[in-house]
Amino acid sequence: MENNISKILLQTMRYSGYLLFFLVLAQFISGLGITEGLFDRYVAHEIHADILPLPILLAFIVHSVLNFRLLLVRIRNRAKTPK
C-alpha cells in the first residue's frame, strides 16, 4: 500500500513540476505581451495579473512540499542504513 502511495506522490510531484514549468513560461510570454505588444495588452495583463498567479502558487506549493517530503524520506533512509 505504501509503495502505491509513494508512486502516486512521485507522479504528482513530476506532473506539478511540468505544470509549473508551463505556467511560468505562460507568465513570461504574457509579460512579453504586456511590454512588447506581442498581442493585445489588455488580454496579456489579464492573463499575467489575474489568471496565472494562483495556479502558479498552487503548483509551486504542491511541487515544493512533495520534494521536501522526498528529501526527508531520503534522509531517514540514509540514517537507517548501517555503515
Tens digit of each residue's pLDDT (9 = 90 or more) over 55-82: 999 999 999 999 999 999 889 888 887 7
pLDDT (0 to 100) of residue 32: 94
User: Which three cell numbers, joined as nine digits, stand for 69?
Assistant: 517530503
Band of residue 12 on the pLDDT scale cut at 50, 70, 90:
very high
Rg (CA), the chain: 18
Tens digit of each residue's pLDDT (9 = 90 or more) over 17-57: 999 999 999 999 999 999 998 889 999 999 999 999 999 99
Cα maximum dimension of the chain: 62
pTM for this model (two decimals): 0.86
Half-sphere exposure of residue 43, counting CA atoms within 13 Å on the CB side? Answer: 7
